Amino acid sequence: MKNNSSVTNKVFVVCNVVFLTLFVVITLYPVLNTVALSFNDGIDAIRGGIHLWPRVFSLSNYQTVLNQQNIITGAIISVARTVIGTLLALVTNALLAYIVSRKRFLFRSQLSLFWIITMYVNGGMIPTLILYRSLNLTNSFWVYVIPGMISAFNVLIMRTYMEGLPNALEESAMIDGANDFTIFTRIISPLCKPVYATVALFVAVGQWNSWFDAMLYNRMNAQYTTLQYELMKLLSSVMQQSGSATTGGNTASAAVTPVTVRAAATIVTMLPIILLYPFLQRYFVSGMTIGSVKE
Amino acid sequence: MKNPVKRITWREIAHQKFLMVCAAFFVIYGIVFYYVPLAGWVMAFQNYKPKDGLFGSQFVGWEKFKFLFSDEVFLRVIRNTLAMGVLNLVATFLMAIIFAILLNEVRNVFGKKIVQTVSYLPHFLSWIIVTGILHDALSSTGIINELLVKFGIMDKPINFFANPSYFWPIVAFANVWKETGWNAIVYLAAITSIDPNLYEAATLDGAGRWGKIWHVTLPSLKPTIMILLIMNIGNVLNAGFEVQYLLGNGLVKSVSETIDIYTLTWGISQNDYSLGTAAGIFKSVVAIILIFGANWIAKRSGENRLF
């Protein structure tokens, strides 16, 4: 009996290890394969059969990518929108969260409801586009950072955290005559660093990875398109080449781009996230857990 | 319950000047960017022309909606959106739960850490990157075709992106690949909060590892699963735009187009703003019905609910 259960136990452990190993391989292989392709000669790569290591080593793909003006401009815009967008979002979301976490604030519940509604209903693609046009936000950089600045979801995460802080600190500050602005900047904010970090990272990753807004609002302006959008143009030209046609006829780029150049552009686009990943991942995880305990 | 909180006094309100000014800013911002677009829904009942504006355009009543529901393409688009939404939801949910439970069974702390760290990396890559590397893996010289040919399952490479019957599974796989590790975080956190006494009791009752998973871990995860399910059901219609847009092509159009792509084609490319808006309204209304419906069912069956 006991023997039997230890056998099933062993079978379970072996199956589990196999499953998880397979999982890791399937997750990592495509990324490592892209790295290998990006360092391989373009003509040689057409033969296929490149796995984890380049067959004919070459740096020319990276040279091609880094010599393209639109990729450089795209990278600058992407960095700018990530930095400015994250700062703006952090300040405004934190301030709004602070206001709705004040238990004695007169319009506390009304203001909360006003923002929670925005989580469930929105105008949709077309009315939003027309609004941005009439506000002159299209064909400009600001469309990336102003409209999506406040997210009710992030405000909820921050509010939950702030409500969990002890009251005593701010009460004593109140007695010392501190006003709301001082309490927010000097007392609450330093204590909220972990949740600020989490929200900032969510926003930053979202900004860096976003491409659809560039296509919808700034397609005509090469000086405002982002790195991800430029990468998408390379991707659809690769698809055209491999015979699987293009995506909805959306790109202007008809020039044929080798798979290896696209691989190099992919790595360039991925690099900031890969480099920061080991340092930042604990904040991501804590953010997910904060988000899940909220009611 | 009696509320012990004192009434807010006028003196306090006078001191809330800073809060009031900021709140006013947030209300104005919210009205402009979230509530004004809702007024744009009027367009769906008009023959909207940009030169006539929202007030000068001709009013046509339900005509745009009548057109939508008589349009064969739109009906097919609804089918595609629902099918891919449900397929993605089921696939990502099951995989995340299975992955979390199996990872939790690993006793080697270091190995567990490595697997988990690797697992949520894809979540941070954009859909552009994900579809790009998926395209490489599935191309005629890619790893999948190479393995299929090597093991003799196929005699020649398959063109995955040209055959409509492969499209939905490819989209579901892309979602599973990208989100499994990330979605599992919540379940792993929930598993760590399970009372260890339950496992001990199960051991005493002679339960093996499967028994403990089946009778302790899964039932303990049920509330978390229900909440996440309700939250995600409202998103079913959103569960497909970027991948479909990026991987879709003329050959698989009949299965790849979703409501959002329809809106984009009519609203932006064909400049029929009214029709695009009508399609968008349909999607919003269905999403709200779904989320309240799921919440109502959860309430009826005595489960956790969102509100």
pLDDT, tens only, B29-77: 999 999 999 998 999 998 888 888 888 888 888 989 999 999 999 999 9
Residue B277 pLDDT exceeds 80: yes
- Report the alpha-carbon distance of residue A280 to residue A199 in Å, rounded: 12
Contact at 8 Å (CB) between A176 and A187? no
Structure tokens at B239: 């569960």
- Report the alpha-carbon distance of residue B224 to residue A206 in Å, rounded: 25
Look at residue B27 and tell me if it is in a domain. no
- Report the alpha-carbon distance of residue B265 to residue B252 in Å, rounded: 16
Contact at 8 Å (CB) between A141 and A167? no
Q: Select the more confidently predicted residue: B250 or A54.
A: A54
Q: For residues B9-27, give the mean pLDDT.
A: 87
Q: What is the pLDDT of residue B6?
A: 65
Q: What is the pLDDT of residue B128?
A: 92
Query: Which of B241, B233, B23, B183 lies closest to A150 in space, CA to CA?
Result: B23
A 4-43 residues inside an 8 A Cβ radius of B: 5, 8-9, 12, 16, 19-20, 23-24, 26-31, 33-34, 37
Look at residue A110 and tell me if it is in a domain. yes
Q: Select the more confidently predicted residue: A245 or B207.
A: B207
Q: What is the pLDDT of residue A252?
A: 40
Look at residue A113 and tell me if it is in a domain. yes
Structure tokens at A100: 């709705």
Environment class of residue A189 by beta-carbon count within 10 Å: exposed (0-12), middle (13-18) or buried (19+)?
middle
Look at residue A235 and tell me if it is in a domain. no
- Report the alpha-carbon distance of residue B256 to residue B251 in Å, rounded: 9
Q: What is the pLDDT of residue A238?
A: 74
Q: Give first-to-last CA distance, chain A, whole Å.
A: 46
- Domain limit, last residue, from A58, A80, A99: A58
Look at residue B189 and tell me if it is in a domain. yes
B 1-60 residues inside an 8 A Cβ radius of A: 5, 8, 12-13, 15-16, 18-20, 22-23, 26-27, 29-30, 32-34, 36-41, 43, 50
Contact at 8 Å (CB) between A224 and A210? no
Q: How many CB atoms lie within 10 A of CB B130?
A: 23
Q: What is the pLDDT of residue A247?
A: 43
Q: Does B147 touch chain A (CB under 8 A)?
A: no
Mean pLDDT score of chain B, rounded to an integer? 88
Residue B246 pLDDT exceeds 50: yes
Residue B82 backbone phi and psi in degrees, to 5: -65, -45
- How far, rounded to the nearest angstrom, does the alpha carbon of residue B119 sit from its chain's CA centroid? 19
Q: What is the pLDDT of residue B303?
A: 63
Q: What is the pLDDT of residue A241?
A: 63
Going by pLDDT thresholds of 50, 70 and 90, the confidence category of residue B152 is confident
Tell me the pLDDT tens digit for each residue of B94-150: 999 999 999 999 988 899 989 998 998 999 999 999 999 898 899 888 889 989 998
> Which residue's entry shows tokens 């000014």?
B21
Q: What is the pLDDT of residue B275?
A: 92
Residue B301 pLDDT exceeds 60: yes
Same structural domain, A183 and A281: yes
What is the domain range of residue B74?
64-300
What is the domain range of residue A210?
64-224+260-293
Q: For residues B182-196, give the mean pLDDT.
A: 89
Look at residue B271 and tell me if it is in a domain. yes
Asked if the Cβ–Cβ distance from B41 to A27 is below 8 Å, we say no
Residue B8 pLDDT exceeds 80: no
Q: What is the pLDDT of residue A194?
A: 85
Per-residue pLDDT tens listing for chain A (295 residues): 445 667 888 888 899 999 999 999 999 999 999 999 999 988 888 888 888 899 989 999 999 899 988 899 999 999 999 999 999 999 999 999 999 998 888 899 999 999 988 888 888 889 999 999 999 999 999 999 999 999 998 999 899 889 888 888 888 888 888 888 999 999 899 999 888 988 998 899 999 999 999 999 998 888 899 999 999 988 877 776 655 444 444 444 444 568 889 899 999 999 998 888 877 777 766 666 665 444 3
Residue B2 pLDDT exceeds 50: no
Same structural domain, A97 and A160: yes
Look at residue B38 and tell me if it is in a domain. no
Q: What is the CATH number of the domain that holds A70?
A: 1.10.3720.10
Look at residue A94 and tell me if it is in a domain. yes
Look at residue B236 and tell me if it is in a domain. yes
- Report the alpha-carbon distance of residue A10 to residue B107 in Å, rounded: 13
Same structural domain, A168 and A69: yes
Q: Which one-letter DSSP state was computed for residue A188?
A: I
Q: For residues B171-198, give the mean pLDDT.
A: 91
Helix (H, G, I), strand (E, B) or coil at A261: helix
- Domain limit, last residue, from A41, A58, A75: A58
Look at residue A255 and tell me if it is in a domain. no
Same structural domain, A132 and A7: no
Q: For residues B149-155, give the mean pLDDT.
A: 87
Number of domains in chain A: 2
Look at residue B31 and tell me if it is in a domain. no
Contact at 8 Å (CB) between B224 and B187? yes
Residue B4 pLDDT exceeds 80: no
Chain A nearest C-alpha distance from B183 (Å): 9
- Report the alpha-carbon distance of residue B298 to residue B286 in Å, rounded: 18
- Domain limit, last residue, from A58, A75, A106: A58
Structure tokens at B257: 């187009």
Contact at 8 Å (CB) between B16 and A181? no
Look at residue A254 and tell me if it is in a domain. no
Look at residue B129 and tell me if it is in a domain. yes
Q: How many CB atoms lie within 10 A of CB B87?
A: 17
**Which pTM does this prediction carry?**
0.88
Q: What is the pLDDT of residue A158?
A: 92
Number of domains in chain B: 1
In chain B, residues with a C-beta closer than 8 Å to the C-beta of A103 are 5
Same structural domain, A18 and A123: no
Same structural domain, A135 and A218: yes
Look at residue A131 and tell me if it is in a domain. yes
Q: Quick one: residue A48, left, alpha or beta (phi over 0 = left, psi -120 to 50 = alpha)? A: left
Q: How many CB atoms lie within 10 A of CB B107?
A: 7
Q: What is the CATH number of the domain that holds B148?
A: 1.10.3720.10
Look at residue A246 and tell me if it is in a domain. no
Q: Quick one: residue B273, left, alpha or beta (phi over 0 = left, psi -120 to 50 = alpha)? A: alpha
Look at residue B3 and tell me if it is in a domain. no
Bridge partners for B58 per DSSP = B47
Q: What is the pLDDT of residue A219?
A: 85
DSSP output for A39-50:
TB-HHHHTT---
| Residue in B12, B29, B129, B178 to test binding to A, most A beta-carbons within 10 Å | B129
Q: 3-state SS string over chain B?
A: CCCCCCCCCHHHHHHCHHHHHHHHHHHHHHHHHHHHHHHHHHHHHEECCCCCHHHHCEECCCHHHHHHHHCHHHHHHHHHHHHHHHHHHHHHHHHHHHHHHHHHCCCCHHHHHHHHHHHCCHHHCCHHHHHHHHHHHHCCCCHHHHHHHHCCCCCCCCCHHHCHHHHHHHHHHHHHHHHHHHHHHHHHHHHHCCCHHHHHHHHHCCCCHHHHHHHHHHHHHHHHHHHHHHHHHCCHHHCCCHHHHHHCCHHHHHHHCCHHHHHHHHHHHCCCHHHHHHHHHHHHHHHHHHHHHHHHHHHHCCCCCCC
Same structural domain, A47 and A88: no
In chain B, residues with a C-beta closer than 8 Å to the C-beta of A24 are 114-115, 118-119
Same structural domain, A174 and A124: yes
Number of residue pairs across A and B with CB atoms under 8 Å?
Answer: 262
- Report the alpha-carbon distance of residue A35 to residue A183 in Å, rounded: 49
Q: What is the pLDDT of residue A250?
A: 41
